[in-house]
Amino acid sequence: MFQFAAKTSELLLAAGLIISAADFLTDGHVMQGNDPLSNIWAWSQAIAIESSPGVVLAQGLQSRAERDYVKTGAYALLGVLLAVVAGILLYVQTAAHTLSLTEATAVSQLGINPRIMAILRAIVCIGYIALSRTKHKQFSYFPPKRNGQPKQEQPASQTQEQPPIKLEITAELVEALRHALTHNVTVVEQAPETQQIAAPAGEINPLM
């Protein structure tokens, strides 16, 4: 339902922009005296604007879930403008119906500036078309924080795991250990040599 409303509102608003541009460029000759086209234009713009707040809300929540806060802000601003335009139109229509006045007289008595209303409606129309065309585009991304601090990247040398050292027990290793444990080691003690002091030259020991 939301997809149908979104696509329909976008097409209707785009068609309304085209008709408005053609009517302006022809100095009002497109819709002047053409009541069927004027009624079609009025109905298409009313359906497009009044059915778009739900679509804008859904798209804004989707953007927030995707952590695209820039697009979320754009949808929030568009939603506020849509609410203001729709609220003013409903207020004027209710007052005109209650007081048995025409819409022009009700706008004048309620102190509403038609120029501001026209500007707001133009902004809403163009903004809705622009956001509808870029709804699949990402404006920004804010990654979630972990433990209140951003995740720090580790050097590549630390991230790479060292391969474990494998110790293979072979028959040669077992035989070498057994031979080392069972081999008799003989310890030989060597007595230190006694050095004799040589007699000085020229001295002769007397014979007894």
Q: What is the pLDDT of residue 165?
A: 64
149 has which bridge partners? 146
Q: What is the pLDDT of residue 76?
A: 92
Q: What is the pLDDT of residue 86?
A: 86
Q: Provide CB contacts within 8 A for 91, sequence distance 6+.
A: 110
Residue spans per domain, the chain: 2-133
The C-alpha R_g of the chain, in whole angstroms, comes to: 48
At position 56, the amino acid (one-letter code) is: V
Exposure string of 147-177, with b = 16+ CB inside 10 Å and e = fewer, is: eeeeeeeeeeeeeeeeeeeeeeeeeeeeeee
Q: What is the pLDDT of residue 180?
A: 73
In this prediction the pTM is: 0.60
Map residue 57 onto helix, strand or coil. Answer: helix
pLDDT tier at 174 (50, 70, 90 boundaries)?
A: confident
Mean predicted lDDT score pLDDT of the chain: 78
Q: Report pLDDT digits (tens) over 112-166.
A: 888 898 899 889 989 988 888 888 888 887 777 765 555 555 544 555 556 666 6
Q: What is the pLDDT of residue 139?
A: 82
Q: What is the pLDDT of residue 5?
A: 67
Q: Report pLDDT digits (tens) over 76-90.
A: 999 999 889 888 888
Structure tokens at 22: 């053609």
Per the CB < 8 A criterion, the answer to whether 67 and 145 are in contact is no
